[in-house]
Each structure stands twice: as C-alpha cells, then as structure tokens.
Amino acid sequence: MHSCLAQACPIVGAVQAVTQSAGETEALGARLAAALGAGDVVTVAGELGAGKTTFVRGACRALGVEQAISSPTYTIGHRYAGAVPVAHLDLYRVRGLGAEEWGDLEPYFDGTIAFVEWPEHAGAWLPPVRASVTLAHVDESHRRVSIDSEDDLRL
Ligand SMILES: Nc1ncnc2c1ncn2[C@@H]1O[C@H](COP(=O)(O)OP(=O)(O)OP(=O)(O)O)[C@@H](O)[C@H]1O
Ligand SMILES: [Mg+2]
C-alpha cells in the first residue's frame, strides 16, 4: 500500500492494482470515493479505452449518483446533485485552455468532488489535485490502475 522507499518521497498514499474486469475497476473507483470530500479534484489519466470513465462510474455510484455515467462527449462536463455534488469532466477535445475557457470550467469545481479525464489538456489551470489515477491496458480485460496522493487516503 505504501510505496515510499525514500523519506523524501512525496507520495504518501499509493495503490497499484491490476483489475480483471470493468467491475473491478469500478470497485476501485468506489474505494477511492470513500476517501473524498467536497473540494477534492481527482485526475483520471490513460489512453483511449483504458477505463477512465469506468473508474469514474464506480466512484460516482458510490457517491450516490444515480444517472448514467458516460464520457461527456458533446459537453465538456456533467455536474450531478447529491449530498456532495459530483462533477465529471472530459477534456479530450480541449486544446490550449486560456483564462476565458477556464472561466467556463471553474463552476464544475465549485463545492464538488470533481473527476477529470484527460487532465493533461488542462495545462496548469486545474486546482490542486487530491488524487491522481492512471490506467493502462494490460490486455483486453486487464488494466493496470495506479492511485497516487500526497495524503494518506487509507485506501
Ligand atoms: N479491467 C477493466 N477495467 C476497465 N475497463 C475495462 C476492463 N476490461 C475491459 N474493460 C472495457 O474497456 C472499456 C473502457 O472504456 P472507458 O470508456 O471506461 O475508457 P476511457 O478511458 O474512458 O476511454 P476514452 O478515452 O474514450 O474516454 C469498456 O468497454 C470496459 O468494459
Ligand atoms: Mg472516457
């Protein structure tokens, strides 16, 4: 669970897993969700089809979101009401984010737990990140999932 080998290592909580199905990736998302609160930003990175939306779906379900969770293809984001509001952004189509575009995105982060796919497209505009998730293909049904945080999330 704790992968710090050197004292200076800034990563306190780190989880590495290989999931064997979409359901297992959703379950990891749910585990992370339990450690989150309003104001937390979670980046979810990985190539096309790696399972980013699947991970976010599991987290959103655990946070009480009942709507279908799909990649926000035609809008950049969705915001779901709930005990803690949840936002899901997909920045795949975002390029060269500037102050004006960021102004449009900022409300998604206001008081929410926000999950951001393709975070690398946000440049330096994202608020501080509570946890970063990275997914990668192993084969058709297996994915390598890493969750890193500077806090001990007790996952
Ligand atoms: N272990 C696994 N974890 C997650 N998804 C898996 C796994 N095995 C198979 N899959 C399948 O891989 C696909 C992942 O799709 P998903 O939309 O979650 O990816 P994505 O990273 O969000 O893609 P995009 O970059 O297009 O938004 C789904 O069809 C899912 O069922
Ligand atoms: Mg997606």
**CA separation for the pair 38, 114 (Å, rounded):** 9
Ligand nearest the Cα of residue 57 is 1
50 ligand 1 Cβ < 6 A: yes
Residue nearest to atom 24 of ligand 1 (CA): 48
The pTM assigned to this predicted structure is: 0.93
Q: What is the pLDDT of residues 5-20, one digit of tens each?
A: 545 555 566 899 999 9
Ligand nearest the Cα atom of residue 20 = 1
Q: 41-87 pLDDT, tens per residue? A: 999 999 999 999 999 999 999 999 999 998 867 789 999 998 899 99
In this prediction, residue 154 has a pLDDT band, given cuts at 50, 70 and 90, of: confident
Return the residue matching tokens 């959103």. Answer: 60
Look-up of token digits 């998730």: 133
Q: Does ligand 1 come within 6 angstroms of the Cβ of 122? A: no
Whether 121 is in the pocket of ligand 1, judged by its Cβ within 6 Å, is no
Instruction: Count Cα atoms within 13 angstroms, Cβ side, for 141.
Output: 4
Q: What is the pLDDT of residues 22-46, one digit of tens each?
A: 999 999 999 999 999 999 999 999 9
Q: Distances from the Cα of 48 to the Cαs of 69, 86, 94, in angstroms?
A: 17, 23, 15
Nearest-CA neighbor of 42 among 100, 84, 82?
84
Among all bound ligands, the one having the nearest atom to the CA of 25 is 1
CA distance 48 to 39: 27
Q: What pLDDT score does 14 carry?
A: 84
Compute the average pLDDT of residues 82-107.
Answer: 92
Q: Say if ligand 1 is within 6 A of residue 54 CB.
A: yes
43 lines ligand 1 (CB under 6 A): no
pLDDT digits (tens, 9 = 90+) for 108-122: 999 999 999 999 999
Q: Is the CB of residue 117 below 6 angstroms from any atom belonging to ligand 1? A: yes
CA-angle at 81, arms to 78 and 84, nearest 5°: 110
Task: Give me the CATH topology for the region 10-148.
Answer: Rossmann fold (3.40.50)
Mind listing the pLDDT tens digit for each residue in 125-152? Answer: 999 999 999 999 999 999 999 999 999 8
- Rounded to the nearest 5 degrees, what angle is found at the Cα of 73, between the Cα atoms of 140 and 16? 40
- Residue ranges per domain, the chain? 10-148
